[in-house]
Structure formats: structure tokens, C-alpha cells
Amino acid sequence: MRHGRYPFVLGFLVAPVVLYTIFVFYPITQLVFVATTNWSGLSPDFDNVGLENFEKIWQDSTFWQAVQHHLMLLIALPLITIALALFFAFLLNMGGGTRGGVMQGVWGSKFYRVVFFLPQVLAVVIVGVIFSRVYGPDQSGIINRLLSFVGIERVLFMSDYGMWAILGVLVWQAVGFYVVLFSAGMSSIPADLYEAAVLDGASRITIFFRVTIPLLWETIRVAWVYLGILAFDAFALVMVLSIEQGGPDGATAVLPVLIYKQGIRESEYGYASALGVSLFLLTITFAILALRAGRREAVEH
Amino acid sequence: MEKDLTRRSVLQRSAAAGLMAVPAAGLLSACVGAKDEAPKDDNAGTVTATNPLGVKEDAEVEVVIFNGGLGTKYATDVHIPSYKKLFPKANVKFSQTEEISTVLTPRFSSNTPPDMVNNAGSKLMDQGKLVGAGQVADLSDLFEAPSLDIPGKKVKETLVPGTIEQGTYKGKPYVLNYAFTVFGMWYSSKLFKDNGWTAPKTWAEFTTLLDAMKAKGITGYAYAGANASYYQYLVILTTAAKIGGADILKNIDNLQANAWKDPAVLQAAKLWGEIGAKYMDKAHLSLKHTEVQLQQNQYKVGFYPSGSWLENEQAKDTPAGFDYNVAALPAATASDKLPANAIYAAAGEMYFVASKGKNVRGGKEYLRHMLSKEGARKFTELTKVLTVVQGSTEGLTLSPGLASSSKALADAGANNFSFRWDSWYKKMDDECRSATNELMFQGGTADKFVQRMQAVADAVKADSSIEKFER
């Protein structure tokens, strides 16, 4: 039987490798190729221009604005989302104190679980449309309407706080998923660990920081990478919510939207592809760094 | 030619492997199939008196119409039946979209375009680049062909003067600008009548009126910053043209050195910047055009700058008796070069025939049906927008808005003008939208506006990859 093993293993490997080559590897090499051309996208003709597109990117102030926004999202989005999700997950699972030595969730935690998860099942564009009403600049905006009841001057979210408003929506939508993820992680932590901690007189806060977090570290790290990659996107929300799709004046510029604008609107597919390559490099660099930096001794249980 | 062939063969090699995809974060993808580019003429029919373009009578023609302010009823109810009446065996394949470039760019890059395209809306394709890429058919033979229902006249003789020029690129007519659009400040006759207001003729009258509106709690002047700031830059440049003459716009179009730094442009930007700071609602920066237009229908907004499609676009939301009316922009100074009733008016709404479509003749024939007197008259009836076909409003009962734009056009006489840089150079259009929002909503200055625009004009001029046009 042993001699039949390689064809068998190869048979399983070929299909995914072929699919991966056609649908991932080949398009990426094409992207790099198109990035070195001045292809307009409107006809099959183009010239090779070498690295000219990348030179242009280097001098493009909107590109650097977008990179800054991604860095902001890269720090703020995982930080806020993970903090909130951990907090909520802890409340849902253990926030209700102990009963007979077993940690309990807060009252009504099953209901909250559904509420938290709800934004996750909505399509991003729908979320965008909902928030365009939430952030409405006048009395028709939900937040501004509420503010007016307590006599606070209206806030022009998309004009003055564009990127923060986008961040708010991203967090709102992402939290639910990570609450569920962390809840699952928490429920796999053996109850006797908590029992021991409770017997030793640890408070809920101590238990959270000394027991839960270390044991959840792997899950948190994965969440960090996912959220970091999400921070390089934000396409749909910016398209739906922002002024002039990335404005005013690049205040909500993000790379995917720049790519879209250059490629589709200004018919510069070569330049758009060069932006795509830059985005690809940024994302890959982040993913590698995040996985490296987050590596530490996993606590076994 | 030699160079083209090598380019093409490079592409064929890459295309032979399958598809050429541009996955920019999974958002964009386009396939380039290198097909034979020689125009296929297998769809030629016999040239006769009723078929001057030699359309093959059973060949399908595909048209794509932008679904925006004008709707698509004029195509489905008027022009398509007209085409089918003359060629009963032909099928007209119709589709409509709100995002022309998203839907059609992949089809052009794969050389499988539809035959006739209405390139319009905020997501239109870069028309200059399309022409530059050889994707647009020369319409000379269409304009030389006899009109469908105006006996004894060629198509070109039935059009408002300037129409063909408006669609001319590098000396050849490539694009039919079909709708004749009048731009100005739109207001409700009812609102004005109820308050005893009249449309202002001078800048002082204008600001006095805006003060009066402010006192009544009405936002005197508004446009939508989120997606319609080009209505406002059109207004700024209209004022500039009134101050310094229409040649200012020509200089800008032709990318002449320091065209944007002309004192008239600076002064116009200054005047409008002051209106922005004093009379506009900052909330409108983050609203879309439909939202602001709705506010005007609710009598919360006085003047709204727009083209003559507005009345039709708002038809559903306009309360009875609102009565749209258009006013020419008030004179800016006492020494304006053009009179106060001068207006921005131009053949707009681009329709073109794809040079690599399956049925180029059919596409042109379709345009001939649009340019018939009957086709134009019914278009105006349905959309309340004038066309470039002369006398096409004969026998029509005009709606209030349409009547007022016809009157504004008549009042202006020869003093109507337009510019084309926005469709020639998309980059300048994008920058001008941002610069206009900055000027009108975000405390920008006229100097900054002018500098930004001059900088982008210079950048476009210096960029050899951008095809240049002149008029």
C-alpha cells in the first residue's frame, strides 16, 4: 500500500494548487504587471512605463493621507473593538458573579448575545445607509436629533469627523462577532480554574486580567490580525457615507476607494493597479508583523 | 501601426493564458480578451433613401441608457419604437444603469461594447479618454445624413448651432450632446409670489434677498456638497464669465497658462465664497443632491443651482403649485462684460456610438431617430428638457420650469456660453469639486481655490499620458 501513497497525496494537492494559482497567484502577478503599464482600461492597448506609476504614488498627497488613515484605523480599530468585545464577552459569561462556585453571565445575557450579533449579519452597504441617517447633519439625523433635545449644538459628523465617524461604524459592526468569538474562547476555559481563583478570593477584575486574558491570548491575537486587515478596507462605508467619496478633501480617503476612483472614474487602471500593489504590500507587511509580534508563550490549561 | 501591433501581440500573449484580471483588493476586475479589432462590417445593409446609413435591417442594436434625472422612458417609449417602426425585423436590446462606468468599462476594455451609450451621471466614463482610446465612432456621416422626418434637411441642419462643436474632439464629431440644458438658480414661483420677492438682477439685490430669506428662516442658497459640488463650480465659473467675458472659459478649456488666475475667476470665487460663509447651511456639505432638492420642495431652501433637468427629477416630490422657475445669475459688478441675462447653456447629456460595437451603423441610426423632430418633441414632453433639435417644442404645452428655461434662453440671445474641461480632464473635475466644497463650506479662500485649480491644470498640462483637447 505504501507505494500508492504519493499519487494519492498529490491527487489531493493538485486541485487546490491549481485553483490557488488561477484565482490568487495569477491575478496578483497580473496586477503587478498592469501596475507597470499606463493601461487606461478603456481599450486593450497600453505602453509599458516601468516604475513611473510608483513614482507618482510617492508624490501623491492623497495616497499618504490614506496611509495615515489606515494607520489610525490599524491602531484604533483593533484596540477599541477587542477591548469592548472582551468586556462584553466577560459580562455575558462571567459578569453575574458566582453561583455555587460557577461563574454566571449577567441577567438577560442570552438576549444581549443576539443584540450584539445583529450588526454582523447586516450587509455593509445597509449599515452604511443606516448610519447616514444616524450621522445626518441636521434634525433628520438620529444623533443630532437626540443632541438637540438636550440643547447641544449639532455635530457635523461627516464634514468634521469623517474618519472617526467611519471608525465608529466599523467598531459597531465588528464588536458582535468578537463577542461571540471570545465567548466561545471563554467557555472553553475550565471552570475549576475560576473556582480556584474565586476560592483564593480574587475579585472579578483580577480574574479577568489574571486568568481570562492570558488564557484567551491566542484568540485575541487572531482577532487582532483580522481587525487589522479590516482596517485596510473600509471601502463600502466610505463610498456610502463620506462626502465626495473620500472627502472632504481626502479627509476620509482610504486606499481601496482611491483604487476605485483611479481605475473606474479616471480610467487609469495602470495607476490603480500600482495602488493595489501598494495596498497588497502594506497588508502583507502588517499581517507578518502582527503574527510575529504577538507571538509569546501560550499559556496551557 | 507597427507599434500598435507589437502592443497588441504582447496583450494577446497575456490574454491567451486566459484572463487578465486586476484584483485591487478584490474590488476591481476586468477582463481583456484581445479580439480582432478590425471593424467588422458584416452588418451593412443597402443604402436607400429611407436607410441612408445602410443599416442591416435585421441586425440587433444594443443601447445602454443612464437612468438619472431624465429617466429612461424616453428611450423605451419613444426612440426604440421609432427605430423598430422603420426596421421591424431588428431587435433593440435595451438596458439601463445608474453607474455607467462600473457597468461598461469592462465591456470597452474587452472590445465588446454596446452599440450606443448614454454616457452620463456622476459615474460617467472619461469621454476624452474613450475618444483617445479609439473606442468612439466618428459621427460625420450621421450629421450629413438626411433627417428622419424633417424633409429636405440634413441632420446637421436641424440642430441648434454649436451642438456639433460641443461633441467635437480633435476636429471630428464623436459625441452627440442631445439635451439642451440651461443652467441657473432655480426657485419656487409660489414661494417668491407669497413673499413678494423677485429674481435679483444685481449682486446687491441678490444679497438683500438672501437676507430677507434668512430672516424668514429659509436657507437662501444651497447645493449638495456630498455629490453635487460640480453644480456650484459651474456657477462660480458662470459668474467669472459674466465678469470677464466667455473667453475666460475658453482659456481654461485650452489649459492656457494662468487661466484660472484670471482676476475675473478670483473675483467670482470671492463673491461666491462670501455667499457660502454667510448664507449657506454647513449641514448641506454632507447631504446628497436629492436631499437638498427635497428641502427646496419643502420651501426650506430659496435658490438651488442646477440644470434644466431638475423639474423632471423632482417631479415626484414637488408639491402642487410649487412652479419651478429659473433665474440667470445676478450681475456680479457694474462693469460686467456680459449682460445680467447671460446664461450657461449647453448641449449636454452625451450619447455616442462605440466604434467597436457589433452594429455601428445601427447605433448611428438610433441617434438619427433621437434627432428626428418627433423623437425630440416626445423627449421634451417626457423629460421637460429641451433638445438640440430646433423647433422641437412646437405644439407642446410647456411645464412651468421648461417654459422658464426656454424664456431664459431666449432672453440671453447670443450671450450663452459653456465650458468643456470637466469632461475632457476628469482629474480637474475631481479637484474642482473638492476645491469648491472647501471654498463654499469649509472657510476656504478665493486665493486658495484659484491656486488649487491652477496647480491641477498645470499638472494635467504637464502629464504627457493625458490626451489634450482644444476648442
CB contact under 8 A, A248 and B225: yes
Minimal CA–CA distance to B109: which of B25, B51, B29?
Answer: B29
Give residue-wise pLDDT tens across range B95-120. 999 888 888 988 988 889 999 999 98
Residue of B108, B225, B285 with shortest CB distance to A43: B108
Cβ of A43 and B285 within 8 Å? no
- For residue B355, give the 3-state DSSP assignment: coil
Mutate to test the interface with A, among B4, B27, B233 (most CBs of A within 10 A): B27
Higher pLDDT, B374 or A110: B374
Q: Is the pLDDT of residue B173 over 50?
A: yes
Q: Is the peptide bond before B113 cis (omega within 30 degrees of 0)?
A: no
Which residue of A lies nearest to B230 if distances are taken between CA atoms? A244
Cβ-nearest to B282 among A30, A159, A263 = A159
Mean pLDDT along residues B70-74: 88
Q: What is the pLDDT of residue A3?
A: 64
Query: In this predicted structure, what is the pLDDT of residue B273?
Result: 92
Nearest by CB to A137, which of B18, B32, B283? B283
CA distance B362 to chain A (A): 22
Residue B435, amino acid? A
Cβ pair A159:B286 closer than 8 A: yes
Whether residue A41 and residue B441 make contact (CB cut-off 8 A), yes or no, is no
Alpha carbons A146 and A136: distance in angstroms, whole number: 11
Quickly list DSSP for B128-181: HHHHHTT-B---HHHHHSBPSSSTT-BGGGGBPTTHHHHTEETTEE-EEEEEEE
CB atoms within 10 A of CB A84: 17
Q: What average pLDDT does range B130-138 have in this prediction?
A: 89
CB neighbourhood size of A58 (10 A): 11
Whether B438 and A248 have beta carbons less than 8 Å apart is answered as yes
CB contact under 8 A, A266 and B281: no
Give residue B306's pLDDT. 92
Q: Which of A242, A259, A280 sits opposite B28 (nearest CB)?
A: A259
Q: Give the confidence band of B12 by pLDDT, cuts at 50, 70, 90.
A: very low
Q: Do A248 and B129 touch (CB under 8 A)?
A: no
Which residues of chain A lie closer than 8 angstroms to B437, CB-CB? 243-244, 247-249
| pLDDT value at residue B25 | 34
What's at A42, amino acid-wise?
L
Residues of B in contact with A158 (CB under 8 A): 226, 285-286
Contact A273 B24 (CB under 8 A): yes
Q: What is the pLDDT of residue B38?
A: 44
Interface probe for B, chosen from A49, A59, A264 (most Cβ of B below 10 Å), is: A264
Q: Report the residue of A42, A133, A158, A260 to disrupt the B interface, i.e. the one with the largest count of B CBs within 10 Å.
A: A42
* Residue in chain A lying closest to B465 (CA): A38
Whether residue A59 lies within 8 A of chain B, CB to CB, comes out as no
pLDDT over 70 at B3, yes or no: no
pLDDT confidence bin for B174, thresholds 50/70/90: very high
> Do B22 and A26 make contact, defined as CB atoms within 8 angstroms?
no
Q: What is the pLDDT of residues B144-170, one digit of tens each?
A: 989 888 888 888 888 887 788 888 888
Candidates B7, B25, B125; nearest CB to A47: B7
Contact B430 A247 (CB under 8 A): no
Q: Hey, what domains does chain A have and what are their CATH numbers?
A: 62-256+271-293 (1.10.3720.10)
pLDDT at residue B436, as a whole number: 93
Interface check for A22 against chain B (CB to CB < 8 A): the answer is: yes
Instruction: Locate the chain B residue with the closest alpha carbon to A235.
Output: B27
> For residue B89, what is the enclosing H or E element?
none
Per-residue confidence band for B36, with pLDDT thresholds at 50, 70 and 90:
very low
- From chain B, pick out residues whose CB is under 8 angstroms from the CB of A264: 28, 101-102, 105, 123
Distance from B151 to chain A by nearest Cα, in Å?
A: 39
Considering only CB atoms, A38 lies closest to which of B110, B286, B465, namely B465
Name the CA radius of gyration of chain A, rounded.
24
Indicate the SS3 state at residue A270. Answer: helix
A235 CB neighbours in chain B (<8 A) are 25, 27
- What distance in Å separates the CA atoms of residue A31 and residue A270, rounded to the nearest whole number? 9
How far apart CA B243 and CA B454 sit, in angstroms, is 19
Shortest distance, CA A42 to any CA of chain B (angstroms): 5
Confidence of residue B354 (pLDDT cuts 50, 70, 90): very high
pLDDT of B23 > 50? The answer is no
pLDDT range class, residue B5, cuts 50, 70, 90: very low
The predicted structure's pLDDT at residue A118: 85
Is B130 in contact with A42 (Cβ distance < 8 A)? yes
pLDDT score for A2: 59
Statement: residue B373 has pLDDT above 60: yes
Among the partner-chain residues B102, B430, B434, the one whose CB lies closest to the CB of A264 is: B102
Under an 8 A CB cutoff, do A260 and B27 touch? yes
* Chain B residues close to A47, C-beta within 8 Å: 7
Cβ distance B225 to A46 less than 8 Å, yes or no, reads no
Distance of alpha carbon B127 from alpha carbon B115, whole angstroms = 15
Q: What is the pLDDT of residues B302-315, one digit of tens each?
A: 999 998 888 888 88
Q: pLDDT (tens digit, 9 = 90+) per residue, A20-65?
A: 999 989 988 888 888 888 888 777 777 888 888 888 888 888 889 9
Alpha carbon distance B315, B310 (integer Å): 8
Calculate mean pLDDT across residues A274-301. Answer: 78
* pLDDT value, residue A95: 67
User: What CA–CA distances, in Å, run from B61 to B58, B88, B300?
Assistant: 9, 12, 46
Residue labelled with grid coordinates 502588517: A286
Least confident range of B22-26, B62-66, B67-71, B82-86: B22-26
Is the predicted pLDDT of residue B6 greater than 60, yes or no? no
Nearest CA in chain B to A35: B22
Average pLDDT (A157-165) is 87
pLDDT for res B351: 94
Whole-number pLDDT of residue B15: 39
Report whether pLDDT(B66) > 90.
yes
B434–A244 C-beta distance less than 8 A: yes
- Residue A211 pLDDT > 70, yes or no? yes
| A279 contact B CB<8A | yes
Decide if B283 and A154 are in contact by the 8 Å CB cutoff.
yes
Paired with B64 in beta bridges are B95, B117
* pLDDT reading at A271 higher than 50: yes
Pick from B28, B34, B465: CB nearest A264: B28
Q: If you write DSSP's letter for every residue of B215-246 in order, what string do you get? A: HTT-EEE---TTT-HHHHHHHHHHHHHHHH-T
Mean predicted lDDT score pLDDT of chain A: 84
Tell me if B438 and A158 make a contact (CB, 8 A cut-off).
no
Report residue B17 as a C-alpha cell: 493564458
How many other C-beta atoms lie within 10 A of the C-beta of residue A221?
Answer: 18
- Residue A1 DSSP one-character state: -
Q: Would the CB atoms of A45 and B7 count as touching at under 8 Å?
A: yes
**Cβ contacts of B386 within 8 Å, gap of 6 or more:** B179, B180, B181, B182, B308, B380, B392, B393, B402, B405, B406, B409
Grid coordinates of B38 = 478590425
Residue range A221-226: mean pLDDT, rounded: 86
| Rounded mean pLDDT, B258-269 | 91
Contact A265 B101 (CB under 8 A): yes
Between CA B266 and CA B465 the distance in angstroms is 29
DSSP class of B396: P
| Residue B73 C-alpha, separation from nearest chain A C-alpha, in angstroms | 27
ipTM above 0.90, yes or no: no
Distance CA(A254)–CA(A235), nearest Å, equals 7
Q: Within an 8 Å CB–CB cutoff, is residue A145 touching chain B?
A: no
Helices A162-187, A61-94: inter-axial angle, 10-degree rounding: 40
**Residues on chain A touching B169 (C-beta within 8 angstroms):** none
Nearby residues of B63 by Cβ (< 8 Å), 6 or more positions away: B75, B80, B92, B93, B94, B95, B114, B115, B116, B117, B118, B363, B366
Q: Which residue has the cell 414661494?
A: B191
Between residues 215 and 274 of chain A, which touch chain B (CB distance below 8 Å)? Answer: 232-233, 235, 242-245, 247-250, 255-256, 259-261, 263-267, 269, 272-273
Determine the residue among B28, B32, B352, B356 to mutate to test chain A binding: the one whose Cβ has the most chain A Cβ atoms within 10 Å: B28
Q: How many CB pairs under 8 A join A and B?
A: 175
Find the CB nearest A275 among B24, B110, B286.
Answer: B24
pLDDT recorded at residue B14: 39
Which 3 state secondary structure label does DSSP give B305? strand
Domains of chain B: 39-180+347-407 (3.40.190.10), 182-345+418-462 (3.40.190.10)
The pLDDT value recorded for residue B16 is 38
Chain B residues inside the 8 Å CB shell of A279: 24-25
